[in-house]
Structure 1
Amino acid sequence: MKKILSTLAFPLVLILFSCFIFLNKGASDSSSDRDDSQKFDNLVWADEFNGSGALDEEKWFHQTQLPPWGSWFGGLVNHYTNRVENTFQKDGFLHLVAKKETFTDQGETKEYTAARLNSKFSFTYGRVEVRAKLPSGVGTWPAIWMLNTNIDEDGAFWDNQGYDTTKWPYCGEIDIMEHWGDDQDYVSSALHNGSSYGDGVVNVGGQKIKNASDDFHIYSMVWDKDKIVFSVDGVEHLTYAPEVKDENTWPYDSDYYFLMNIAILPEIDPDFTESAMVVDYIRVYQ
């Protein structure tokens, strides 16, 4: 009888030991999942726009220099300025304002003004959140986006610092949010690089949201060494994770900086007078 019990006990011990290992593995996996979900939770840079008047010059640079041919890429019909009329802080918000007005700069006269900001902060990998409401009007084109600090673009902040080594699109571009006034409430994200640019952009996705120009929404990006994921208010609409990561598909392994701007397209509504992108905050977690 003892021999039978002993014979039965050994398999029972093995079963119990296997269950212990499985349960602990499950706990370990759950812990790993928790770690993944909590990744990029350390706030490393932000602007809450709690000042008054002009922006914090330690954080932002106004990019105003026109390309050599006198107009911005895409045939834009606006000047970008560094005036408080186009960019200011008030009541805890950034106001990035596009205006209809005759303005002459750098020998060129244009009928609209706006602002194009470059951040003086750059980083590799992290989670970005921007809470904003968007301008309205056919012909308006607001964007919250990123470029590699190595872009060769005269007049850009990081180019002025001597980082300019690589032409667009091979430097890489990350569009967190774009909105076109002729498609109100549809917001888009995209990746531009050597394999996807110009009329051949394939890495793009978006979603329709409610009241993009009247209500605040949170535009988010999570960027790690494997993929870049875009969402609005927690709802994802694009994941970029190319199987082959080379210089054409994945220039996303070095420092990028932020841009925020409103472009004015040639098809601007003739009745347009003024509209703003209002930003509550921009935050970066790593």
Structure 2
Amino acid sequence: SGTGRYVRMYGTQRATAYGYSLWEFQVYGTGGDPITPPPLPSDPANPPRLVWSDDFDGAAGGKPDPSKWRADPGTGPNNELEYYTDHRNASLDGSGHLVMEARKEVTAGSSCPRDPLSGSTTCQYTSARMNTGATFQFTYGRVEARVKVPKGNGLWPAFWMMGADFLTGRPWPYNGEVDIMEVLGKDVKTSYSTVHAPAYNGGGGIGSPYTLPGSADFSDDFHTWAADWNSRGITFSLDGRTVLSLDKDQVEQTRGPWIFDHPHYMILNLAVGGDWPGPTDASTPFPSRMLVDYVRVYQ
């Protein structure tokens, strides 16, 4: 019924001889009048200005600010063992820190594993996960958090971002995921930054491990993780030192479509167990605490 003026197709190459699998097809300007493709958001200013922050000030025992964070209760993915409570495991310590606490305690939940003998659904651990999905979404900026991670087999603290269209039904990994910080409690000398998209996700995500000077232990002190994100890519840093740079054009030429040029929201969580960190054992300390000094976004 009209003439296409602008077409963009993304496909992922298949391992067999059958070419490509189509996963996104966009047409702009059908009909007689061309329609300009939607512009990308503006890149952050240089230097960027602070547009959102939480320094977790407040009385000891207080809960995270509901105008900034919402609890994300339920079980985690990746065969994790915890049940995330409705902020019962997250509180302020009165000294300017958020405390996210993993506890060894039985909690019932419909998504917990089913006991083959009793038939009941229970999780053996509780923990905290919260996000800004309902309060703050953004495209591009410097995203920064100062965190002290716990140590122990099976613990998995993280600071990350999800593409906001996940909240309206677009499935992972098509929405995009940006992991700014992940540390495994069984190896607290290593941290990871990674991005996930349809053409590179899970164990095939694009990322890098890195260490502290002198192979120091991340759990001994607070450290600052940041991601500088703009229309050209993402640069990850630790305590001001660049640890990974991802160039959008290079990724699209070598790995597949770059899908991060749209709104995202932030997530903090402390997982217990799962495919990557592995299980807890008798040496894992409970309760274990992830401390967050601040989270800030500059644009």
Range into which the TM-score falls when normalised by the shorter chain: 0.7 to 0.9
**Equivalent pair of 1:78/1:263 in contact (CA under 8 Å):** yes
- Which has more helix, going by share of residues? 1
Alpha-carbon displacement from aligned partner over 1:43-95 (angstroms, at most 9, x marks no partner): 000000002311111111111134xxxxx3211111000243x1001211000
> Does the residue aligned with 1:166 lie in a helix, a strand or coil?
coil
Contact kept? 1:229, 1:236, Cα under 8 Å:
yes
Q: Which residue of 198, 207, 227 corresponds with 1:204? A: 207
Distance 1:239 1:112 in 2: 36
> What's the counterpart of residue 95 of structure 1?
99
The amino acid that maps onto 1:125 is Y
Q: Is the 8 A contact 2:44 2:298 kept in 1?
A: no
- The worse-fitting range, judged by mean Cα deviation, of 180-189 and 168-177 is 180-189
Deviation readout 1:102-132 (Å, 9 max, x if unpaired): 1223373111110111112111010112111
Equivalent position amino acid for 1:60 in 2: W
1:144 aligns with 2:147: no
Matched, 1:41 2:53: no
Aligned-pair Cα RMSD in Å: 2.1
- In structure 2, what is the equivalent of residue 177 of structure 1? 181
Cα distance between partner residues in 2 of 1:97 and 1:124: 30
Shift, 1:271, TM fit: 3.4
C-alpha displacement of 1:38: 7.0
Q: 2:28 is matched with which residue?
A: none
Local SS of the residue matching 2:249: coil
The 3 A distance-change label for structure 1 pair 125 and 111 is: same
State the identity as a percent.
Answer: 37
Task: Find out whether 1:114 has 2:127 as its counterpart.
Answer: yes
| Count of aligned positions | 233
Q: Give the unaligned 5+ runs of structure 2.
A: 1-42, 111-119
Larger Rg: 1 or 2? 1
Distance 2:236 2:260 in 1: 15
Q: Unmatched 5+ residue regions in structure 1?
A: 1-35, 67-71, 152-158
Give the distance between the partners of 1:83 and 1:257, measured in 2 at CA.
18
Query: Aligned pair in 2 of structure 1 residues 199, 211: CA closer, same or farther (>3 Å)?
Result: closer
2-side partners of 1:199 and 1:139: how far apart? Answer: 18
Identify which of 50, 55, 58 aligns with 1:51: 58
Query: What residue number does 2:288 align with?
Result: 275
Partner of 2:141: 126
Confirm whether residue 77 of structure 1 aligns to residue 81 of structure 2. Answer: yes
Amino acid paired to 2:201: Y
Amino acid at match of 1:57: P
State the partner residue of 2:116.
none
Q: Does 1:192 align with 2:201?
A: no
Q: Which of 258, 265, 268 pairs up with 1:260? A: 268
Pairwise CA distance, 1:41? 2.2
